[in-house]
Amino acid sequence: MLFHVEMTVNIPHDIPKEEVERMKVLEREQAHELQRTGQWRHLWRIAGRFANVSIFDVASPQALHDILSNLPLFPFMEIKVMPLCRHPSSIRDDDT
């Protein structure tokens, strides 16, 4: 199943900078691994914001929830999820 996911990160200012940097490193490593496995199919930064738009390709809504809720920055995210389905006019064979 494909999902369009928008994540906006709002880290409180009272968290030590070193802790924030540690979480960002862990987040990046996890994102890279999920991209390598094909579950995090696309990842784009939203210009001017600490936010991204992503496409996930996972087996179920529960699988997506499990991935998102295990991200290191999850406690500081506002997340919007939209399930996607193939458009009948698409010329791509890999967008199912």
CATH number, position 77: 3.30.70.1060
Q: What is the DSSP letter of 3?
A: E
Q: Is residue 66 part of a domain?
A: yes
State both tokens at 79: 């997340």
Q: Give the SS3 label for residue 44.
A: strand
CA distance 81 to 89: 23
Chain centroid, CA 52 distance in Å: 7
pTM, 2 dp: 0.91
Q: Is residue 95 part of a domain?
A: no
Question: What pLDDT shows up at residue 76?
Answer: 97
Q: What is the DSSP letter of 46?
A: P
| Structural domain range at position 31 | 2-82
Q: Is residue 37 part of a domain?
A: yes
Stretches in the chain below the pLDDT threshold 70: 95-96
Nearest to 67 by CA among 28, 39, 45: 39
